[in-house]
Every structure is written in C-alpha cells, then in structure tokens.
Structure 1
Amino acid sequence: MDGVVKTSILTAISAITVYAGLFLYLNGDDENTKKKNTKNKKKKNKLKTTSILNTSSSSSSSSSSSSSSSSSISRNSSDDLDIPYGSSNSINSENNNSRNKFLDGEDDDSHEISTSSSSDDFTQNSPRTLQDHLKILKSDDLSNHMAIKKLDSVHVLLSIVSYSESLALLSYLNSLSIVVDSLNSLLALEMISANQNSLIRQLGLLLGNLLQYPENHKKIMETRFIPTLVNLINDDDAERSDFSLFCLFNISSNEECGTEIILSQGIKEIISLLESKKANISLKKQCLHILLNMYLESKNLREMISSENEQLINVLKIIKQTQKNDLSELASKILQIDTDHQNLINTNDFNDKNIKPLYIEDEEDEDDDE
C-alpha cells in the first residue's frame, strides 16, 4: 500500500515538473518572439528613414535636371516672344537650396540669390528683356568673348523684329542708333575675328529690318551712316554687300534718303557692281530695285540720276539685251521711265524755245498805232 502511494506521489510530482517546464518554455518563446518583433520594427524604421533621405536626394537631383531643361525650353520660347526667362530655374534652385539647408541644418538666411535684370553687371546674368539685349549691344567691349554674347542678343532681336509690334517697340527703344554705333565700332577695327565678322553681318541684317519702319528713315539720316552703307556696296565680302543693299533698298523710297544715296556716290557704286563679273545676280537685282525705287519716288531724284545718265543707260541696255531673267525686266522698266522722263524734258525745252514774247509784239503794235 505504501509503495502504491509513493508511486502515485512520484508520478504527480513528475507530471507537475513536466507541466512547469512546458509553461516556462512557452513563456520564454513568447518573450523571444516579442524581442524579435521589436528588433524587426527597429530595422524597418531605419530602412524607412534611409529611403526617405534617398528619395529626397534623388528628387532634388531630378528637380535640378528638370529645372535646367525647363530653363532651356523657356529660353528658346522667350527668344521669340520676349518673355523673361530664367525665373523657373531660379525658383527651383531656391527650393533645392532650402531643402538642402533643411537637411544640413543650415540657416535659411546664410546667403541670397539675385537674378534681377536691373543688376549693373548685366553681362553676367542671362538677358531677359529687350532692354537687356540692347544693353549688351551697347557695351563698348569688343572682345571675341563679348562678340559671342552680342551675337546671341542679335539673334534674339532678329527673331522678333518681323512682328510689327516688336518693330515699333524696338524703334521706340532707339535700337537703330545702338546698332549703328556697334557697326561703326566694329568696322573701325583693323583686325577682325571670325565672330566679330559674323556680328557685323548680323547687325547689318538687323539694321535692314529696322529700316523697314518708316519712322527710322529720319533716324538713319541723323546717324550719317548712309555713306558707310554706300561704301559697302562693292565690299569684298559678299554678305556685307548684301546687307548694305538691303538697307539702301528699304530707304530708297524716301526722297531725302534717296538724295543722300546719290550725293554719297551711290549711283557710281551701283554702276560698278552692275558691270562687275564677280557680283552675283541677287546683288545686281537689289541694285536695280534701288534704282527703280528712286526713279519712281520723285522727279527730283530722276533729275539727279540723269547727271550720270549716259553710263547708267548704257549698262541698263546691255543688261536688257543679254540677260534672260528678272534683271532684264527690271532694266526695261527703268529704261522706259527714263525715256519718258527725257521725252518730257525735251518737250518742255522745245516749248520754252518756241514761246513768243507777246508783250514785245504788243509794244510794236502800240508804236504802229501812234
């Protein structure tokens, strides 16, 4: 009996021990699980913070690249419409700087960014308005580096000068005088680089476009630049000849400008170019258009041209007989106008010679009556 009781007690103790061990095991497993979960959460939080930082840095780089692309796009569009460009780039750069300051813990007031177009050193900032481009052209700096900047500004102005509103605005801003001064400075140089020579051509083209505006005809007279244009008619550089004839054509319909062309030996230079074998048809055609404009403009210009009429008429007759293109047609028109003009002069001379002095006859009749 005692043996059975002892056995039961031992069995109960062993069972309790087993259950206690299982209970401790299970509790320990739960604690380990909680610890693991806590560690995993910490790792996830670290990964999140790392990804946020990476995302912010990547977004800043992408925004900077997008800002540069938007700046280039805005610059191309502003060339045509004269819309101030560069502002989007400034805004994005300021946002990037503020973001970097926030990440680096710097003070926002550590430095400032100035993009004002009214800055004294306008050549260091991107030009954003017509006034900015004209300021660049007005600069006395004739270096090769500055010539490139001026070329960019001339291209911008050429892209908008075809619009009547822009042409009127440029005239109001006294752009013609600025262009003429730039041309005078460049043409006075003894040695001219390739960029400076390109600048001369583009400035001449811009001047020709500005002279389409009638209000600028008086201004070009005031600059005394017409003799310079006449001297460039037979320049060795065909492109200089081209823009000079373009300018002269646009002012030849003005009687005062036409008179200045003639007084500056313009007819002599035109005859020389028409006789030249090197000059292309396009240049000769422009010369004939200038002559036709002056013939049609006024009687005074026709009479002034007649002073060199013989040589000019001979050249025009040769062109009419030998050329089979627009030159022949233009020469024929000029010859016809000149013929009509000469016939009118001869008729007037004839009438003047055959007018009877009636007052003398009246006096003789009175003597007879007495």
Structure 2
Amino acid sequence: MSLASLFLTAVFLATVSFLFLRVYLPRWLAITVAAIKFTLPVLYFTFVFDLEGSVSAGGQVIVAKAPAFTIKDDVTYYLWSRHVLESGYDPLTILFSQDGMSMLWEPVGGTHVFYYWWNLLAQYLFGPYYHSPVLLNVFLTVIVGVYVTKLLYSLGFSESYSNWFLVFFLLHWDILAWTSVLNLKGTIAMCLAVAYIYHFFRLDQRSTFSWRAVVFHLSIMTGSLILLWWVRFYIIAVLLATTSLWLLYRWVPRYVIPILGLVGTPVAILAVQSVPVFTRFWETAVSRLDPVSLPFGLLKVSLSPRPWGVEPNYLFLEFAAVFHWVAFAAFCYGFARLALEHKPTRYLFVFFGLLVVTFAMSTRFQGARQRYQLVFIIALCQYHTLRLLIAHATTTTEAGYPGQWWQNT
C-alpha cells in the first residue's frame, strides 16, 4: 500500500465532495463533513489495514495475509480487478475486448460483474490499492446523499429539513462503518436505486414536461436499472413492482384495480417465463423464499447484528450496532409518522417493505449487509423523529413538513 496514494486520493475526493456539499451546506459544515468522512478510512488504512494477496496463473485468488475486517468478497473484488489491470486492460478498452471481458467475468458466478469493473475503474484512477475503491465508495455516498436531498426537495420538504438530513445521512453510523473499511457493492446498489427513485418522482410529480426532460429522466431510470442488473439484479424487480403499485395507487380508480388484478395475473406469469430479469428473479430469489421463516427473518433483518454478538470479522460494526438498536424505536416512530401523514414518502416505504420481506424469507439475505442498501430510508425515519423532537422541545411547528404538490396534481 502507498501512503502517498492514500493521502492524495483522500484529499482529492474530499475536495470534490466539499464542492458538492457546498451547494447545500455552509462552508464550515461542508468542510467538516467531508473531513470526517475521509479521515476515518485514512486512519484505518494507515494504522490497521494489512493485506497480502495475488491471483495465481490458474486464476485462483490467493490471500497470504487478510485484513482485520474482511468478508472475503471484498478481497476478491480487489485482487481480481488488480489482476485484470496488471494484464493490460483499463476500464474503457476492456469493454471492447472479448478476452478482457471474459477475464473480468471469470470469478463472478452470476451477473454482478459491474462491481469488478468499478474496482478496475478505481484502481486505474487512483492506483492498484485496496483503498482506491473504498475511497471512491465514500465519495459515492456523497452522491447518494445529494440525490436524497434533492428528492426531499421535490417531495416538498423544507430546505432546512433536507439540508440537515444530508448531514445526518453522511455521518450516519451505518454509512461510516460500512464505507470506511470495506470494499463492497452495497453503496453502488443504493446509489443506482436512489437515482431511479429520484428521476421517477421528477416525472411523476409534474403535469407538464418538455420532451427533452422526459427523455433525460427516463434515460437515467433505464440506465440505473441496466446497471443494477449487473450489480444486484433483484432490486430491479422490487423497484418495478414498487413503481407499478405506486402508479396504481396514484392514478387508477379503486374499482378498476380488481379488474387489473385479473388481467395482470396471467401477464405476470408470462413475464416470469419470458422476461429475463423476472425469470432470473424468480429462479434465484422468489422460488427460494420460505414464508415460514418470515417472522424470525424480519427480526433478524431489522436487528442484526446484536451488539453483544458481533462476529470478529464484523467488529467494525460494533458501535454501529449499538446505535442501530438505540435508534430502532426512533426509526419505527418516524416510519409511522411519515407513512401516515406524508403520502409522497409511501413509495419509499413500499420499496423498503418489499425488499425487507424478500430478505426476511431468504436465510441467505438476513444480515446487516443487505439492510445497508436501505440506510437512506432508515436514516430518513430516524431523522424525522429527531426533527419532531427538536420541534417539540423548541415549541415550534416547523418540522420541515412537505408542501401540497401531492394534493394539487
């Protein structure tokens, strides 16, 4: 590992992050948030991280010395992408090389090849080091935060509410814990999902649009779904299901819904049999779900890991687990208040509910790692409770409630 590369990359990405945050936050606060986010991984990689590994001539990933915190996938992403880079490929040329793409695909064992390419991009830009994709993911959380802030704007929340949520989200314990030490694809999956949701709402809440705007928003939505196919394909099915339910709820008279259900059932069956994304979702996810495990699975997805039972490789989550348990009641209260009082946020909660139920019925996906990609919704609920408490304590009625665009459309 090169300390010079670590510091230069961190300073560069922290500066770019500051420029993004400066649009929404005072200068001092933007500097503080950016500094905290990038100082934590710099400290970890300077004083704790230790990894030695390579890829053998036969294509076997060999780890001679593992870092303190690892779940194996993270090391494989890094070492294999470094192997591809050392073989003479870069993020652009590999897209036009059959041999290069075959090499990139070799360790995948599924469709999530995009994150290997993301690792290749990070190492090409910032050096063949483990910290390169980690720091790039830290920067990506800033993009996610900006997207959610703009989403809150579009849903009618006040500027103060939205901007302070940006701070809360970027310094959220789960965001800091997961992105400061591990090279995982949850952040990019969250970013793509948030991008889709934001641009969908931009289309949904406006009655008039230029064709240019329609094409732009649809292009981002489509691009997000395409990339999600190569990251975590099941999120596509959940997003499309959420969007379909939302459009029914928003625009279709209640008496028409049963008719659509009768017509839609055979269409859904046909889609499962013929449309690749739904077929793969059914074969690899839905068909393996066990409804019997739902009650226990919901508890596990909601509360794992236990603060007193964190596995050694996940000890970086110890403090985050404590905060998660302490703030769980705040999440539940904020969830209920937003869902009951602010109709536009119900889209987020339908998406959240469908994904959590899917995780709960699959014993493979009941951990904090899967829940992490929903942190932007969890943090919003916790933050909303905090705003309500502050509003109550200061005897003010302004808690940043949404405006009336919903009722006026």
Structure number with greater CO (CA < 8 Å, separation at least 6) is 2
Higher alpha-carbon Rg: 1
What TM-score do the two structures reach when normalised by structure 2?
0.22
Q: How does the TM-score come out when normalised to structure 1?
A: 0.23
